[in-house]
Amino acid sequence: MLDLHGVSIVPLVSYGRSGSTVFMKALKALGCSVHGGAPYEDRTCQMALLSHLAGLGGLSSIHDSALSVGDVLAKNAFFNSHLISVGSSPFVEFFPHFSAFAKQLAETGTSLIAEKFIGVDLLQASVGFLPNGQLRPILLQRDPRDIFLSVKGFNAKRGYRSFNDVGDDEMLFRIICAFARQLQVISSNLESCLVFYEDLVKSPSVVIDSIARFLGIESSADLIAETVSAIQPRSESDLQHMTSNSISSTVKRWETQASPEYRAIFEKHDDKLSSISRYV
């Protein structure tokens, strides 16, 4: 088992454009260590877990012993860490560096590190080598139709495609639905906290309180109120990251904003939604 000195990793797992930045704000306000500001794209925990796997020879597609930090960054553009200073350092040496960082956090009284996780593979692989209770996943679901519209809107806003949008809209919607079903299965097989974006919008206090209890954080009316205030969009960065005018207008966008073409896709693949109990 890995030694994180009593610090727990809180992976926030979701499809892109599911509201993960809002949830990261909530986790930060609740007292989790969260590096940097929105949209919170630091991958320190994931880099550390990958480093441990590399040390075990578990990254079979590459020659683990010769892998450097720079090699990982070159192969995985979305992985980076504020702990990285020299790209030529052996990647297997990154986990001990992270362990020392976790020890420093523990000495300051910090017991939780929250991070957006990419996909579910690393989460599932990590279950076997982290001590019980030191991996506390939060699985975030959002209506796949609203995710789809947000992906299309955000890509148009930035001027390039991402989030598996390669020009085939039917395939994109199927991928989003498949990920939602995968999270649903994982939630039933792994000790985790399944949350819904729509619930945070409609009843933020209830959702925040449930997250706090899952993480073992002592909840209070003041803490809940401070966290509800913290998730509101205020900065220019917040507004740039959004495709709606406010958080309250992000629920059921598909009912009023989907084009006839997109509605046809949703209807054609209605069976993909039928297995996602919340959004039938």
| The predicted structure's pLDDT at residue 198 | 96
| The predicted structure's pLDDT at residue 62 | 46
Indicate the Cα dihedral angle 29, 33, 38, 41, nearest 10°. Answer: -150
| The predicted structure's pLDDT at residue 66 | 64
CATH code for the structural domain at 8-279: 3.40.50.300
Non-local (6+) Cβ contacts of 207 within 8 A are: 195, 196, 199, 200
CB atoms within 10 A of CB 186: 17
| The predicted structure's pLDDT at residue 63 | 45
Q: Which of 123, 146, 95 is nearest to 250 (CA)?
A: 146
Using CA atoms, how far apart are residues 148 and 277, in angstroms rounded to an integer?
A: 18
Question: E-strand spans in the chain?
Answer: 8-13, 112-117, 138-141, 193-196
Q: What does the domain layout of the chain look like in residue ranges? A: 8-279
Torsion over CA: 56, 90, 41, 107 (sign): positive
| The predicted structure's pLDDT at residue 128 | 82
| The predicted structure's pLDDT at residue 239 | 62
Using CA atoms, how far apart are residues 26 and 230, in angstroms rounded to an integer?
A: 7
Residues of the chain with pLDDT under 50: 61-63
Provide the terminal-to-terminal Cα distance of the chain, rounded to the nearest Å: 41
Using CA atoms, how far apart are residues 39 and 48, in angstroms rounded to an integer?
A: 20
